Amino acid sequence: MERTLWGHLPLLVRANSKESVEFILQTLWRTRKSGLDADDRRLICEMLQLQNDADLDPLVKLLVSLGYSTHIKVFLSTGVIRQERLIPLLVCLRMLIRKCVYENISKNDIQKLFPEEVLPELQRLLTLLLQKFQREWRDDIHMDKVSLPRLKAMTWNMATQDAEMTEPTAVINLKLQNDTRAPQGELDLKFPLAKETLDTMLKSMYSPRDQLSNLGET
């Protein structure tokens, strides 16, 4: 991991409690595919007490030196500065999480990921939390790979006849649930079936039905 990123970990010391740091790690994991939304970033900023202008003095001084003093109030009011300070910390934590979950790192070796310059109390806290969630997160990754959408509900109705339809047609409505997708993972699938196509589909289902029945008897 880039050495410069480790220097942003001390921001976690500003959190009020161990539970706040735990929440941040879990939020980063939960949003590993979608990324943080505005509410997530705002809440994390509040947990790390980054809402005060005084907390941003180094960045304010940098803006002044670059000739952007007239823009400071705008940046402060929109939260741009807070997020710019927050992003390197989140990148560092995401990289740390990925190493613990995707690489072959045992629980006992997690603390070895940290260089000496990281505060010992931060090393202990992050090691404890990463050890706590490592197995659960690895299970999530496994589920991401093997989980298929499941049938939640099925309904049907007869299609309205019109001049283009040469034979009666049923419209099948499937509601599928994919537990690995956020936020709800529901998918509605609708398609028409004429009698001939429906007969063919039903006949093709006999083979898997018989195999499942045979497995259930063994």
Map residue 196 onto helix, strand or coil: helix
Kindly give the interhelix angle for 18-30 and 120-146, rounded to the nearest 10 degrees.
30
Please state, in angstroms and rounded to a whole number, the distance separating the CA atoms of residues 37 and 31.
9
Is 0.95 surpassed by the pTM of this model? no
Query: Residue 146: what pLDDT?
Result: 63
Which strands sit side by side in the sheet containing 169-177, from one edge to the other?
150-158, 169-177, 186-194
For the ranges 39-43, 102-106, 141-145, the lowest mean pLDDT is seen at: 141-145
Residue (of 160, 158, 218, 162) closest to 193 by Cα position: 158
Q: pLDDT digit string (tens) for 21-55?
A: 999 999 999 998 888 888 888 888 888 887 543 34
Please state, in angstroms and rounded to a whole number, the distance separating the CA atoms of residues 6 and 92.
7
The structural domains of the chain, with segments of one domain joined by +, span: 3-145, 150-217
Query: Residue 132: what pLDDT?
Result: 94
Report residue 72's pLDDT band, with 50, 70 and 90 as the boundaries.
very low
Q: Is the peptide bond before 192 cis (omega within 30 degrees of 0)?
A: no
Torsion angles phi and psi, residue 27, rounded to 5: -65, -40
Q: How distant, in Å, are the alpha carbons of 13, 37, 39, 68, 106 from that of 90?
A: 14, 13, 15, 26, 23
Torsion angles phi and psi, residue 68, rounded to 5: -105, 30
Residue (of 91, 104, 92, 93) closest to 130 by Cα position: 93
For the ranges 5-14, 104-113, 205-214, the lowest mean pLDDT is seen at: 205-214
56: pLDDT strictly greater than 50 = no
Residue (of 176, 179, 170) closest to 188 by Cα position: 176
